[in-house]
Amino acid sequence: MPNLVLLGIQGSGKGTQAYLLKKNYGFDHLNIGSLLREEMKKKTDIGNDIKEYMLKGDLVPDKYIFSLVGPILHDNLKGVILDGFPRTLKQAEFLEKRMPVRCAIYFELDDKIAKERLSHRRVCQNCQQNYNLLLNDVKKDNKCSKCGNPLELRMDDNSEAINRRIAAFHDETKPVIEFFKDRDSLITIPATKKPEQIHQEIVYILGLAKPA
Ligand SMILES: [Zn+2]
């Protein structure tokens, strides 16, 4: 099982694709954004330090990311999907030294559509499942279909934070896309296609075999 990196502006459907790959092929989904939010909730030292960046929509400085993911990454990991990391060129270099990655999949999406999607995003704080009122079937009772917890707007999904995250993507994460392109390991997929269609495309490109 290859290790994958998912890249794309927030709202491009990284979480949905990670979920489908996990469900259908048994990948491990390493969602750095939810690890960071978890640290905030638990009020750890890192959590307290990164809170302001997170709530404003600024990128969390590399040093915090490194201390969080450093102990997790190693070169015999297999079948791991990295979501929300690397977000800067320094993070991409950090990753390259620690763990082999088969490819980075970039979900390309227009800023305007991303903003529209993010304002419709809901999350289950219990099991971290993401929903989108535009894409997913959210039941009328507005509860998580996996665990029944009420769905909430993510605390960093306000319009100012969304704009700052999109700006940070253009400034800091675009070079990461170039980084993988330079290594011939970038796959670009238009994120406007239907989630299931995108999933099938990924399966086909990677030549994934259904687990027995
Ligand atoms: Zn849930």
pLDDT digits (tens, 9 = 90+) for 86-122: 999 999 999 999 999 999 999 999 999 988 888 888 8
Half-sphere exposure of 169 (CA within 13 A, CB side): 22
How close is the Cα of 178 to the center of ligand 1, in Å? 35
- For the chain, helix, strand, coil in percent to 5 are 45, 15, 40
Reply yes or no on whether the pLDDT at 141 is more than 90: no
Predicted local confidence at residue 212, as pLDDT? 65
Q: Which two tokens stand for residue 188?
A: 């670009």
Q: What is the mean pLDDT of the chain?
A: 92
pLDDT digits (tens, 9 = 90+) for 21-55: 999 999 999 999 989 999 999 999 999 999 999 88
Predicted local confidence at residue 136, as pLDDT? 61
Q: Which residues surround ligand 1, an ion (CB under 5 A)?
A: 124, 126-127, 129, 144, 146-147, 149
Average pLDDT over residues 61-70: 96
Query: Among 92, 87, 99, which residue's Cα sits nearest to residue 60?
Result: 87
Query: What domains appear along the chain, each with residue ranges and CATH number?
Result: 4-111+162-206 (3.40.50.300)
Max CA pair span of the chain: 47
